[in-house]
Amino acid sequence: MRVVVGMSGGVDSSVAALLLKRQGYDVVGVFMKNWEEKDDTDVCTAESDWRDVQQVCDLIGIPYYAVNFTKEYMDRVFSLFLKEYRAGRTPNPDVLCNREIKFKAFLEYALQLEAEKIATGHFVRTDGEGALLRGADPNKDQSYFLYMLHAAQLRKSLFPVGGMTKAEVRALAEKEGLPVSGKKDSTGICFIGERNFRKFLSQYLPACPGDMVTPDGEVIGRHIGLMYYTLGQRRGLGIGGRGDGRRFFVVDKDLRNNRLIVVQGEDDERLYTAGCVCSEVTFVEDALPINTEVALTAKFRYRQPDQRCRVVYDGETLRFAFEERQRAVTPGQSAVLYDGERCLGGGIIDELIR
């Protein structure tokens, strides 16, 4: 069986390719280039990553190719990323990148190479029937970022490191002499990487400074542009503590008047919500029953412990009622549903229920 592995130049996808080769698959490595610009140090990270892919594939003994998806990334992911920021929300490009690039454009390309399946270095598992299961390493589980996938895509996908811990992956890479065994994990925006975020975003969206105010309208400072702030944020506000010295936190954005709303004290009730409503709902397998309250768990940001909630799906939106009030639930981010080890799907947070 031919399997095309999406190789990033990192240790996870490299070990994925190694494991599949050992298991007797006809393995092909493919490096996806999705961003043209250099990083803040004037280094083209794609070129460095491509060299790492070449070295790993030569060592493993598999053919490799590079494919350019920069247009697809710009049209399907980055344009929506900018649209969300214009609307004052905080998007998560990783979930779109997985849906539109890694498991759509890349999958279509792999099928052209006569592959039967694709593989990635994601820390998730699947049962072969289209279920999306948490990765075995709870500290690295990436199911949160893959909730927009559908069973048909998952049936065409393999996740060789999903049953391993990160430590085991690095140990195997070191044992086998892979040149990326000690390479640090990538962070930052999907495919764009680490960079000064404010500087980067200002290249695409004009900043519009305005007043920073308390909920009763008292002006206590200036913000540099609403797009640079997210709910619950306390660092980088530039106003310090006042009165009793407690820090300020962002609780809302007034787009109409270009005002950033802040409160003092990390326990202020306005930082917490009792529920939320999500749109752009997708399910991995079967949808939830219509207009029926279901008890599940959910994550509202990556690495968050599961939160108990009751969920109602009306055919278009998901309405969450949290068992415990949640802090800094953020419009534009994803609410992802779980039933035990199974990731069911989720949606984009639209509205907060106080």
Q: Which residues are catalytic?
A: 97, 190
Q: Which of 89, 189, 81, 144 is nearest to 300 (CA)?
A: 144
DSSP letter for 145, please.
G
291, exposed or middle or buried, with CB in 10 Å at 0-12, 13-18, 19+?
A: exposed
How far apart are the C-alpha atoms of 66 and 172, rounded to whole Å? Answer: 25
How far apart are the C-alpha atoms of 105 and 227, rounded to whole Å? Answer: 29
Residue 160 token pair: 């060789």
Q: Is the separation of the CB atoms in 194 and 187 below 8 Å?
A: yes
Report CA dihedral (174, 176, 180, 182) to the nearest 10 degrees: 0
How far apart are the C-alpha atoms of 187 and 14, rounded to whole Å? Answer: 17
